[in-house]
Amino acid sequence: MPLLSADPAAFPAEPPADIHDPEVTAAHDWAAFSALDEMTDHWARPGWADGSRAYYWMLTFPDDQPLAALARHCQQELAPLGLDPVPADGLHITLARVGRPDDVTLEQLDSVARDAKALLPAAFSVRALPLAGSRGAIRLSLGPWEPLLRLHHALAKAGAGVGLAPKKPTSAFRPHLSLAYNNRRRPAAPVVEAVSGLRALPAVELLVSAVQFVELRREGRTYRWDTRKSVPLR
């Protein structure tokens, strides 16, 4: 598995010192978030206007009630900030962007799902750790990172074999789970302060037993998707 490397387009730009220790990755996320001076508009993304679609590998949790309850509580507490909350059935971990529907054939989709199945690691669990954030979102840290990085690397390897390598390499992957998106430029300090009051909430354990290949679309200020393939882990 490739080592993580610094990437100015990633957040945090620098990787954590230890991908095996959830406390280290959570502290690293928080340090980067709390150092921000300004937050940006998540939706001001070139090439990703309302109605845009793209294929992604994701982990989805439509029936995870503890995660939904945690998200709902955090969103309610942060409501005065005017963020765009992620719907309970829209909670996900983005793994990798693969391409636009016009650029991916059905044969490629079938091939990458078949090849990925032979490469995927065994099922595992990660913890959704204390709340933190990025330049454009409020999100849960995840830990440990190591199994998520192995999963990303397996998907990248499967995709490369059929011309569907992820847009970003595993070395630039920073696992997280967003609960709300920031929708305007604003000073970061009030948001960081509000989030800091929610960091003592207990973690939620997430079972990862399959990975989803989805056609993601933007609908206004939220994301929706259709699952094209769900590939079980070993």
Interval 92-109: pLDDT, tens:
999 999 889 988 888 998
Q: Which residues pair with 50 in a beta bridge?
A: none
Q: Other CB atoms closer than 10 Å to residue 168's CB: what's the count? A: 17
Q: Which pLDDT does position 1 carry in this prediction?
A: 60
Determine contact, residues 169/153, Cβ cutoff 8 Å.
no
- Number of residues that make up the chain: 234
Domain residues of the chain, as ranges? 32-44+52-232
Tokens of 106: 């059905």
Query: Domain 32-44+52-232: what homologous superfamily?
Result: Cyclic phosphodiesterase (3.90.1140.10)
Under the banding of pLDDT at 50, 70 and 90, the label for residue 164 is: confident
Average pLDDT in the 5-13 region? 95
State the sign of the Cα–Cα–Cα–Cα dihedral 182, 185, 186, 192: positive
Determine contact, residues 25/141, Cβ cutoff 8 Å.
yes
Interval 100-159: pLDDT, tens:
998 888 899 889 888 998 999 999 999 998 999 999 999 999 999 999 999 999 999 999
| Alpha-helix runs per DSSP H in the chain | 22-34, 65-77, 106-119, 146-160, 189-196
Determine contact, residues 211/120, Cβ cutoff 8 Å.
yes
Q: Provide the pairing of β-strand 186-187 with 124-133.
A: unpaired
Tokens of 128: 């959704």
Q: Which pLDDT does position 40 carry in this prediction?
A: 97
Determine contact, residues 212/230, Cβ cutoff 8 Å.
yes
- Give every strand in the sheet of 124-133, ordered side by side: 84-85, 177-181, 137-143, 124-133, 204-208
Q: Which pLDDT does position 113 carry in this prediction?
A: 87
Residues 6+ apart with CB under 8 A from 45: none
Tokens of 120: 């995927």
Q: What is the phi/psi pair of residue 142, to 5°? A: -125, 150
> What separation, in Å, do the N-terminal and C-terminal C-alpha atoms of the chain show?
18
Residue 163 has pLDDT above 90, yes or no: no
Q: What percent of the chain has pLDDT above 90?
A: 84
Residues 229, 162: Cα–Cα separation, whole Å:
16
Write down the residue that tokens 């207990």 correspond to: 202
Write down the residue that tokens 């206004």 correspond to: 220
Q: Which of these, 56, 220, 36, lies nearest to 136 by C-alpha position?
A: 36
